[in-house]
C-alpha cells in the first residue's frame, strides 16, 4: 500500500529504529512498511496516524479509490 511513512519519519528526523520503538514494532517492520513490502494492520495504521496526528487517509493511499 502506498504511504507517506518515510516522508513523515524523515520530517521528524527519526530513524526507523526510533519510529519502531514509538510504535512498538521492529525496525524491520518499519522498513517493510516504508518500502511497501507489507501493509499495516488496521490497529497499526491507526497508531501511526495518532503518532503523526494525521488522519489515516493522509498517510496511507486507499488502493480501492
Q: Supply the pLDDT for residue 62.
A: 83
Which triple of cell numbers denotes residue 45? Answer: 495504521
| pLDDT > 80? residue 65 | no
- Provide CB contacts within 8 A for 17, sequence distance 6+: 27, 30
Query: Which 8-state DSSP code applies to residue 60?
Result: B
Question: What is the value of pTM for the model shown?
Answer: 0.92
Tens-digit pLDDT profile for residues 15-52: 999 999 999 999 999 999 999 999 999 999 999 999 99
Arch. (CATH architecture) of 4-53? Orthogonal Bundle (1.10)
> ∠ at Cα 52 (23, 38), nearest 5°?
55
Contact (CB, 8 A) for 34 and 16:
yes
Amino acid at each position: 500500500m502506498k504511504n507517506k511513512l518515510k516522508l513523515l519519519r524523515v520530517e521528524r528526523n527519526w530513524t526507523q529504529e526510533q519510529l519502531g520503538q514509538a510504535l512498538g514494532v521492529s525496525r524491520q517492520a518499519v522498513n517493510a512498511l516504508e518500502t511497501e513490502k507489507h501493509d499495516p494492520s488496521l490497529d497499526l495504521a491507526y497508531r501511526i496516524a495518532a503518532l503523526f496526528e494525521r488522519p489515516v487517509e493522509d498517510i496511507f493511499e486507499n488502493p480501492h479509490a
